Structure 1
Amino acid sequence: MSNILNVGVRALQANQAALSTIGHNIANNATVGYSRQVVNLATVEGQYTGGGYIGKGVEVASIQRVYDAYLTRQAALSKSVSAQDVSRAEKLLQLEELFGTGKTGLGASVSEMMNAFSDVASAPTDLTARTVVLTRASETASRFNDTATQLANLQRGLTEELENSVSTLNTLITGIAEVNRQIQAVVGLNQPPNDLLDRRDQLISEMNKYVQTTTLENNDGTVSVFVAQSQPVVLGTRALELKVANDPLDPTRSELRLVNGSTEVKLQDSMLGGGSLSGLMRFQNEDLVEAQNLLGRMAVSITTAINAQHRLGLDLDGDPGGDLFTPVAMADGAAFASNTGSAAIGISVADASQLRASDYRVTFTSPTTYTVTRLSDGATPAVAPGPPPTVDGLALDITGAAATGDSFLLRPYAQAAGNMHTLFASPRDLAVASPVQASMGTTNTGGLAVGKLAAGSVPAPANVTITFTSGTQYTRSDVPGTFTYSPGTPISYDGANPSAWTLTLSGAPQPGDTLTVGAINPAYAPLDAGNAKALMDLRDMKLFDGAPLTDGYAALIANVGVRAQSAQYAADVSKSIAEDLEAQRTGVSGVNLDEEAAKLIQYQQAYQASAKMLQVAQSIFDALITTVTR
């Protein structure tokens, strides 16, 4: 009698456990990260009798979660990659919106400024036309300033987002360590704590959205979590902390650090792998830097070229022109903390047409030799010997004593756009007259004509008279000898300052024809517009990687646009992959309500049958008692 009662009780308890587990699955159908659980039943070992073994029923061997470690790991990693691509794409979209097109764009402002010189060239004494030029120049500087401010605001917003993400990440790290402690406390019971394991897996999955992780299982049931490939953030039940700090080489940028007691270790961006933090850091250190450098190079190149040409003119009062814009002062190279020498590096513009939109790293291979690495592409451009030495149009002013291994970070364009300003507001100070003029001889009979006369210094040197002895030869008053004439071939001043002026002639001269080049007559200077035309011609100057000055902004927005488009495509692809892998994981571990409903009916019937078994046993027992008591 006791055997059938025990069998019935065990069956009742086993089916009750199955029903409870099914109910648990149904209740957690919508719980993120929940893995479906199943009851594993086992036959109780039978009792031997002379007639054979009599079974003792069933028992619950274990309750396990349906779990695929590979799919869970791949789903978490794919989420990490997707989060990285999505966060970067979102930031690039914000960056793209800063560089507008059309009449409100920075490019239109530059073009309008350069075109404004055409009105001055037509009427050099018109103060209104001169005022328009200064207004356009001021507007251009203001738009550069505004764009630089918006980039700085984008960086500040990025820093705040990094800090918020790291705060959430630290909460997840602490949560994983706490779940590890709880798992460690029950691991000796030899049954898996399914809900705790699910919770830990979900915390790790959430953590992967911020930074890609790797895990290592320990013998005590805990897992250790690592980021940046080898840096531990969870060691069993111990949680470490991440923080956002200013980059010591550039305080405007942020870096991630791992705090371990009193020690802080920088997490290398290239080692982060995936996660939104990786995407944000990549945006900061690649995309945003590129945009700042492109914008800053535009400011440096335009101000340098215009200032250089403006200084070669005369204003309305006949005085030499000065700078139209404030010369952009570049920050000195930032020394690495590991430097042991006393060297310092200053930067200035040597050739505006050769500037590259990039940061640089200077590394001393000995106290007197060094290499320069262009960080935008990793190339090591040749350094032209000085003094001063130059690289990519930049002059390097190295002072002090360097030590072998010393390094410096050069960011010549980072703050340039924000420091662009006009220097004067009086239209009379606009230097649009050329200091040099060419006068044809009054008795010339040939078709000789001045194609172009470009000044190279102020004031102009003494007069030089060119006399043609034939249609193909001429003499000069400043240099003995006979020279060959070829239309279109430049003729330069040959005195103490060879760049004082350059003359290009056209047409066919006759013997005896003369031409005199010298300083302009002060009485006619206000009516001259030679320098206005030279300033206007800067529009076609090859200033940005071989592109004209007016195309510099187009190249900038094309660069940002291509980056944004590429990032959005990568985000769409990685998001699709992440969704597919999560669907596969859910297909294995997720709860299917139809399947659970079928099992619910199955175990309900088994439970009822078990109860019926107890009812039968009770009836037999009652009949036995009644018979015995008669």
Structure 2
Amino acid sequence: MSLMNIGLSGIQASQVGMNVTAQNVANINTPGYSRQQVHLSAVGSTSMSMKDAGNGVSVSSIRRVTDQYQTNQIFRAGSMLGATSTSAQQLKRLETLLSGDSMDLSQGFDSFFSALNGASVSPYGSAHRTQIISEAEALSNRFNQLNSSLDGQYNDLSQQRSSAVSQANSLLGNISKLNEEIRKGEATGANTSALQDERDVLIAELSEIVDVRITDAGDGTLNIALPNGQPLVMGNQVAQFSLESDPNNPRGDVLSLSFNDQNFPLDDDIGGKLGALAEYEKDVLIPTQAAINDIASEFAQAFNDQLAQGFDLNGEPGKPLFVFDPENPAATMSINPDFKPEDLALSGDGTPGNTDNLMKLIEIKDQEFEIGHLGSQTLGSAFNSLLGDIAVKSRQAQSDHDAASNIYLQATIEKSATSGVNLDEEAVSLMMYQQAYQANLQVINASNQVFASIMQLF
């Protein structure tokens, strides 16, 4: 090969190197960009002569500098971050809700039983009896508002879950399309670095919604699955998430996955935001609402039962003050619309001034009841225990989120050290390619001079 052609190959290779360096510098602030490197190969001799030095240089490939292990660590950390962020947010909202003055059942019980204590001075007085009924109504309203707010959390969970499912399905479709484009590009020898970067960005977004496992298919495509093996993307085949009403919980949803006409029911072990939402609903929201209902039911039933043991101002047996639906006591608790102050059965023997039954009604405050997962507790302490349990879980969730944030930051730093663009390194590369370009121009110039000298001989 001529000296001029060898120099030309060097110029062309240097030009590619400068272009790649420029591309790296231009994308230094592009999210998800992985720097690229030029791989050069010497073009050997074709004449098999010892006097033939070779035929110059060629660009064998432009390589995307990345480490799949580090990329997978980003995906794992992203899933932890998505899950812990969701848990921390939901638990903090619930803690704030339960600790609000208008929702504090412990305060409601204190006010109600304080009104009962006040009536012990004058059990036949209309003012005291009216105050008892007023506080009973206020306590019922607390239960109603608290239950309504918890129902609102179910609606919020459903909306978040629906939004996350839509986003996940969209990401899966786009990842599948990129898989196909990359496969075709790899087959024709095209540079698919930008497409692979875009795919990694989408997988990182998906990993915040569900935990993912990545397998390289060997043809440029990536297979993606859930932790338990349910497929999400295989080549250009893609799964879809769906939500259906939970037959065991009308306010809840059941998450499933369909792939190639196969349906996979999903539990809360799928990680990410969707896993955290399901876990929060199952382990926190449902038991919390069940405990609130237990407190409402046990209190209202115990109070009504004790009223039935006494006598009102007319000497008649006591009738129930509270009415409620046993299937949903907190939401339906209210005051008997026909109940009047004189109907309060505070007497134990029918005498208007007797307070025997009133004392037994007051004792309900210190009586222990079986309250769901909280065990045997008094009414006020049961709510305080519930609030304390939520507060502990909220602090733990925030601590887990802080730890996940640090892990994600560390994984990002490690990946950036490998794949990120370093301006100092790129400056050195640019100088090197520029000098090589100029040196190869000198080679071509020398070839021209030799040729000109030879021509002068004729």
Alignment of 1:469-618 (within 5 A): 520=349, 522=350, 525-543=351-369, 544=371, 545-618=375-448
Residue identity opposite 2:94 in structure 1? L
Is 1:251 equivalent to 2:250 in the alignment? yes
- Give the Cα–Cα distance (whole angstroms) in 2 for the partners of residues 278 and 620 of structure 1: 74
- Quote the residue 1:290 is aligned against: 287
Is 1:430 equivalent to 2:427 in the alignment? no
The counterpart of 1:326, out of the listed 323, 342, 345, is 323
Q: Secondary structure at the match of 1:253?
A: strand
Cα 1:228/1:245, change in 2 over 3 Å: farther
What do residues 147-206 of structure 1 show as CA deviations (whole Å, max 9, x unaligned)? 111111111011111111111111110011101111221232356622222222222222
- Once the 2 structures are TM-superposed, how far is the Cα of residue 584 of structure 1 from its aligned partner? 0.6
Q: Is the 8 A contact 1:223 1:236 kept in 2?
A: yes
- Give the Cα–Cα distance (whole angstroms) in 2 for the partners of residues 561 and 533 of structure 1: 35
Q: Is the 8 A contact 1:214 1:229 kept in 2?
A: no
- Give the Cα–Cα distance (whole angstroms) in 1 for the partners of residues 48 and 168 of structure 2: 63
**Where does structure 2 lack aligned partners over 5 or more consecutive residues?**
none
Q: TM-score, normalised by structure 2?
A: 0.94
Alignment of 1:389-468 (within 5 A): 415-424=328-337, 425-434=339-348
- Once the 2 structures are TM-superposed, how far is the Cα of residue 104 of structure 1 from its aligned partner? 6.5
What do residues 413-442 of structure 1 show as CA deviations (whole Å, max 9, x unaligned)? xx33112112144111111111xxxxxxxx
- Quote the residue 1:277 is aligned against: 274
Cα 1:156/1:51, change in 2 over 3 Å: closer
Paired-residue identity, %: 28
Q: TM-score, normalised by structure 1?
A: 0.69
Alignment of 1:131-146 (within 5 A): 131-146=130-145
Residue identity opposite 1:571 in structure 2? H
- Give the Cα–Cα distance (whole angstroms) in 2 for the partners of residues 612 and 56 of structure 1: 17
- Give the Cα–Cα distance (whole angstroms) in 2 for the partners of residues 137 and 53 of structure 1: 105
- Give the Cα–Cα distance (whole angstroms) in 2 for the partners of residues 549 and 176 of structure 1: 53
Q: Secondary structure at the match of 1:302?
A: helix
Cα 1:24/1:625, change in 2 over 3 Å: same
- Give the Cα–Cα distance (whole angstroms) in 2 for the partners of residues 60 and 104 of structure 1: 71
Q: Secondary structure at the match of 1:527?
A: coil
Alignment of 1:354-369 (within 5 A): none
Q: Is the 8 A contact 1:100 1:106 kept in 2?
A: no
Alignment of 1:346-357 (within 5 A): none
- Quote the residue 1:365 is aligned against: none
Is 1:232 equivalent to 2:62 in the alignment? no
Q: Is the 8 A contact 1:228 1:268 kept in 2?
A: no
What do residues 427-476 of structure 1 show as CA deviations (whole Å, max 9, x unaligned)? 11111111xxxxxxxxxxxxxxxxxxxxxxxxxxxxxxxxxxxxxxxxxx
- Greater relative CO, 1 or 2 (CA 8 Å, sep 6+): 2
- Once the 2 structures are TM-superposed, how far is the Cα of residue 228 of structure 1 from its aligned partner? 4.8
- Quote the residue 1:311 is aligned against: 308
- Give the Cα–Cα distance (whole angstroms) in 2 for the partners of residues 42 and 221 of structure 1: 23
4+ residue runs of structure 1 moved beyond 6 angstroms?
none
Cα 1:145/1:74, change in 2 over 3 Å: same
Residue identity opposite 2:329 in structure 1? A
- Quote the residue 1:186 is aligned against: 185
Q: Is the 8 A contact 1:141 1:422 kept in 2?
A: yes
- Give the Cα–Cα distance (whole angstroms) in 1 for the partners of residues 91 and 144 of structure 2: 20
What do residues 19-70 of structure 1 show as CA deviations (whole Å, max 9, x unaligned)? 1111111112122222111011111103557653323221111111111111
Q: Secondary structure at the match of 1:53?
A: coil
What do residues 184-235 of structure 1 show as CA deviations (whole Å, max 9, x unaligned)? 2123235662222222222222210110111233244322221252211212
- Give the Cα–Cα distance (whole angstroms) in 1 for the partners of residues 304 and 448 of structure 2: 109
- Once the 2 structures are TM-superposed, how far is the Cα of residue 244 of structure 1 from its aligned partner? 2.1
Q: Is the 8 A contact 2:243 2:253 kept in 1?
A: yes
Q: Which protein is richer in strand relative to its size?
A: 1
Q: Secondary structure at the match of 2:335?
A: coil
Q: Secondary structure at the match of 1:122?
A: coil
- Quote the residue 1:96 is aligned against: 95
- Give the Cα–Cα distance (whole angstroms) in 1 for the partners of residues 102 and 8 of structure 2: 85
Q: Secondary structure at the match of 1:242?
A: strand
Higher-Rg member (1/2): 1
Cα 1:125/1:296, change in 2 over 3 Å: same
Q: Is the 8 A contact 2:103 2:145 kept in 1?
A: no
- Quote the residue 2:61 is aligned against: 62
**Where does structure 1 lack aligned partners over 5 or more consecutive residues?**
331-414, 435-519
- Quote the residue 1:156 is aligned against: 155
Q: Is the 8 A contact 2:268 2:276 kept in 1?
A: no
Alignment of 1:23-102 (within 5 A): 23-48=22-47, 52-100=51-99
- Once the 2 structures are TM-superposed, how far is the Cα of residue 282 of structure 1 from its aligned partner? 1.0
Q: Secondary structure at the match of 2:59?
A: strand
- Give the Cα–Cα distance (whole angstroms) in 2 for the partners of residues 25 and 305 of structure 1: 74
- Give the Cα–Cα distance (whole angstroms) in 1 for the partners of residues 399 and 28 of structure 2: 33
Residue identity opposite 1:576 in structure 2? N
- Give the Cα–Cα distance (whole angstroms) in 2 for the partners of residues 127 and 167 of structure 1: 60
Cα 1:250/1:261, change in 2 over 3 Å: farther
What do residues 276-314 of structure 1 show as CA deviations (whole Å, max 9, x unaligned)? 111111111111112212211111121122111111111
- Once the 2 structures are TM-superposed, how far is the Cα of residue 105 of structure 1 from its aligned partner? 2.4
Q: Is the 8 A contact 2:103 2:146 kept in 1?
A: no
Q: Is the 8 A contact 1:113 1:133 kept in 2?
A: yes
What do residues 550-575 of structure 1 show as CA deviations (whole Å, max 9, x unaligned)? 22221111011111111111111111
Alignment of 1:172-211 (within 5 A): 172-190=171-189, 193-211=192-210
- Once the 2 structures are TM-superposed, how far is the Cα of residue 101 of structure 1 from its aligned partner? 5.1
- Once the 2 structures are TM-superposed, how far is the Cα of residue 133 of structure 1 from its aligned partner? 0.5
